[in-house]
Structure 1
């Protein structure tokens, strides 16, 4: 789209990025979306590689599909929190902290769900899923996801959430929140 009208308060140049309300939450939301996307790709690939449709395999496929749904729903809810923050013309520190904590909760939740999905794909495919297929091997999804989720320790994010829940105090905001 060219020549779109954008209100001045919505324009943020790179040198002002850190001044963007919720910059850390936005960065963390992007990482969360990457994790959810990798897990979705892993599940899609695993389902294609699965031969059996017996009851146990179907049950596992259903569980993994439900986990993907949950991860996507949590990601969407966190995105709505950030959208709400950005819709405020003059957000408060409490608004910023609320959005950051919602994104942190999403990151903790999706980190656990997505790694589990990528790990359990091999239960669907059996040894066939571990065979090397160039760049299409299912192990690539697991390695990519596991490496990306280690970018920041989930337990640190969970501790921030827990402290905020226990004390009611907002965390210090920055690139990680």
Structure 2
């Protein structure tokens, strides 16, 4: 299904500013509650979560990680992770839409000039959403950049084609990478609407169906030089990777929690016991009880490691940030990501097993949990997380630095 909707773009709405953790979590629960109402229908019919996304922005959740000196909430990474976990338990597609928005906020915190931070963070605080221009289409790997930023008489113009552009269709500012005339990679922030910018939802993944993670085409798009942020060398320590991965892990933890809660409800209200169990209710099957107990312990372990990883990031002193600190942050998040990946897949599959054949009926939409888990956890291979963790503890080798570790 291909959707091209220029009319979907809406001007930013007035947004609150949240400076209290409890207020942020209350707002996240309100968004989750709204998103949960029609989650099954949206997944089945591929309808965008526009109302819940609008509420997300209006309540001020989009600026909770913007430093307070620039007017934002200045809240902890622990709060950010919990916001994403709560919302993703209701609808992980909604959780993934602002994922790159927060990754880009961190990127600006790490790399932008003071003037750029002041200008772009002001946009975020006033309700603007960033959207990811995505990596390239048809390249050897996600870090290869083919898009070009060429100087013209009226300023730099960007041309290229991107994919996996999560959030771009719903964004007020599309952000993408290109190579300039000097061979340097730059990150361009492009306000919408922009002549030559085309966003097409041709995303056809089996899961995360309403993230609109499709194509962005740019043809001679004029870019304001003030909104170009140079991409640093890969060996520069930063928190971009750990923060990006923390949010990924939070989404997976949310998927797992949502699947478990739906499983519990289905066992109690819909499923029938196995004939050999000798019980009247499926919930009284001792084999099932033990299985549910095992999965729940694994879910709690994953959630605990997610919180631990966030605390590791929160405890970092920016004044003493170095390669060893960046490595420790990446490893802590990788440890959480290993468990959140495993439990998202396991809980969403066990849900169907525990519910029996009737759990597969389309009217329940329970298969969406596994499809979402399988799709989202492919973002970065967990086997490389295990490798990075083992190499770190065995040989003291720091993990590579990019947004996927």
Q: TM-score range, shorter-chain basis?
A: 0.7 to 0.9
Runs of 4+ more than 4 Å apart: 1-5, 10-15
Asked whether the equivalents of residues 46 and 129 of structure 1 are also in contact (C-alpha less than 8 Å), the reply is: no
Change (3 A) 1:68 1:22: same
The Cα offsets for residues 132-153 of structure 1, whole Å up to 9 and x where unpaired, read as 11xx411100000111111111
Write the distance in 2 (CA, Å) between the matches of 1:83 and 1:44: 29
Which one of 108, 114, 129 corresponds to residue 359 of structure 2?
A: 129
- Structure 1 gap ranges (5+): none
Change (3 A) 1:176 1:56: same
In terms of fraction of residues, the more strand-rich structure is 2
Deviation at 1:17, TM superposition (A): 4.3
Deviation at 1:16, TM superposition (A): 2.1
Q: Which has the larger radius of gyration?
A: 2
Asked whether the equivalents of residues 106 and 239 of structure 2 are also in contact (C-alpha less than 8 Å), the reply is: no
The Cα offsets for residues 83-106 of structure 1, whole Å up to 9 and x where unpaired, read as 112x44331221111011110111
Larger relative CO (CA 8 A, sep 6+): 1 or 2?
1
Corresponding residue number in structure 2 for 1:176 = 404
Matched, 1:84 2:344: no
Deviation at 1:123, TM superposition (A): 2.3
Relative to the length of structure 2, the TM-score reads 0.39
SS of corresponding position for 1:137: coil
Matched, 1:67 2:298: yes
SS of corresponding position for 1:173: coil
Write the distance in 2 (CA, Å) between the matches of 1:65 and 1:166: 31
Write the distance in 2 (CA, Å) between the matches of 1:98 and 1:14: 17
Matched, 1:103 2:333: yes
Corresponding residue number in structure 1 for 2:111 = 19
Matched, 1:34 2:251: yes
Write the distance in 1 (CA, Å) between the matches of 2:297 and 2:336: 16
Change (3 A) 1:41 1:2: closer
Corresponding residue number in structure 2 for 1:6 = 68
Deviation at 1:19, TM superposition (A): 3.1
Asked whether the equivalents of residues 67 and 117 of structure 1 are also in contact (C-alpha less than 8 Å), the reply is: no
Asked whether the equivalents of residues 256 and 340 of structure 2 are also in contact (C-alpha less than 8 Å), the reply is: no
Asked whether the equivalents of residues 24 and 176 of structure 1 are also in contact (C-alpha less than 8 Å), the reply is: yes
Matched, 1:146 2:374: yes
Write the distance in 2 (CA, Å) between the matches of 1:156 and 1:168: 16
Deviation at 1:7, TM superposition (A): 4.5
Q: CA RMSD in A?
A: 2.6
Asked whether the equivalents of residues 81 and 99 of structure 1 are also in contact (C-alpha less than 8 Å), the reply is: yes
In terms of fraction of residues, the more helix-rich structure is 1
Change (3 A) 1:130 1:88: same
